[in-house]
Structure 1
Amino acid sequence: MFRSRPTPTPPGPGQESVWDYPRPPRLERVDRRIEIVLGGVTVADTTGAFRVLETSHPPTYYLPKDAFAPGVLSPAPGHSVCEWKGPATYWTLSAGGKTAEAAGWSYERPTPAFRDMAGYVAVYAGRMDACFVGGERVTPQPGGFYGGWITPEVVGPFKGDPGTMGW
């Protein structure tokens, strides 16, 4: 069912609205520190990530594989295709006695617009113990399909809740 575009929340100082993000999405380099914790262990830490910005979605963060601690990532079954980025590869993350099956994904051979992030890995924040951007703990994007990370400087409303698929 199609649902009309919601009323965007006006951004305050230092904030950005996901309704100002483009479609098709844009790839952007991030120099802020990105950290991921699973099983009580920091499994990834980098200042060399990318974020993908798409209308109605909080940013999705992609980290270089070498930002992940050795042994954390293992290939997971399954596949999908993004109309913008191409075919996705899935990853299971394990650390501190905890395993998150197929909780990460990457684009090993992305489309030309996203070639710079080839092999970088994104994770579902809601399947980790915690994820941080610039020291701020993120809130996972609503729903189980999308992998955006909500931080205080990003305002919505965000796609992912029931009834938002038509946005």
Structure 2
Amino acid sequence: MKATWNDQVIAESNDTIVVENNHYFPLESVKGEYLETTDTHTTCPWKGLASYYTLNVDGKKNQDAAWYYPQPKDAAANITNYVAFWKGVKVTP
């Protein structure tokens, strides 16, 4: 799977995990130079507290376009160190 935004590949992996129709990419497959940590957090009843990244690609920013669970609940332990995308990020095979 490949995640692209602003004509750049953000992440690419054959080992994504699909949860609720979202592909979670292993953190090591995500290009860290495009990620900026934010203060945004949301809570999922069964996954836990999510944290977000803003994408910064060639001077364009996509606020909170990636999320991850730093310490997911037991039911979602398989997505520890995985990142998912939305807000116009295209995820394709």
Give the TM-score, by structure 1 length: 0.52
Matched residues, number? 93
Q: Which residue of 131, 134, 152 maps to 2:91?
A: 131
Shift in Å, 1:98: 2.0
- AA aligned to 1:131 is V
Give the corresponding residue for 1:101: 63
C-alpha separation in 2, matches of 1:45 and 1:96: 19
1:70-116 C-alpha deviation (Å, 9 max, x unpaired): 31112112211100100111111122332111111111101111112
C-alpha separation in 2, matches of 1:105 and 1:64: 12
C-alpha separation in 1, matches of 2:22 and 2:32: 23
Give the corresponding residue for 1:49: 16
What percentage of aligned pairs have identical amino acids? 26
**Equivalent residues in 2 for 1:73-112 (5 A)?**
73-112=35-74
Q: Which residue of 52, 65, 73 maps to 2:27?
A: 65
- AA aligned to 2:88 is R
SS at structure 2 position matched to 1:63? strand
More strand by share: 2
1:108-134 C-alpha deviation (Å, 9 max, x unpaired): 10111111211211110x422x321x2
Unaligned runs of 5+ in 2: none
C-alpha separation in 1, matches of 2:12 and 2:58: 16
SS at structure 1 position matched to 2:32? coil
Unaligned runs of 5+ in 1: 1-33, 54-58, 135-167
Q: Is the 8 A contact 1:38 1:94 kept in 2?
A: no
1:122-147 C-alpha deviation (Å, 9 max, x unpaired): 110x422x321x2xxxxxxxxxxxxx
Following TM superposition, the consecutive aligned residue runs of length 4 or more in structure 1 with deviations greater than 2 angstroms are none
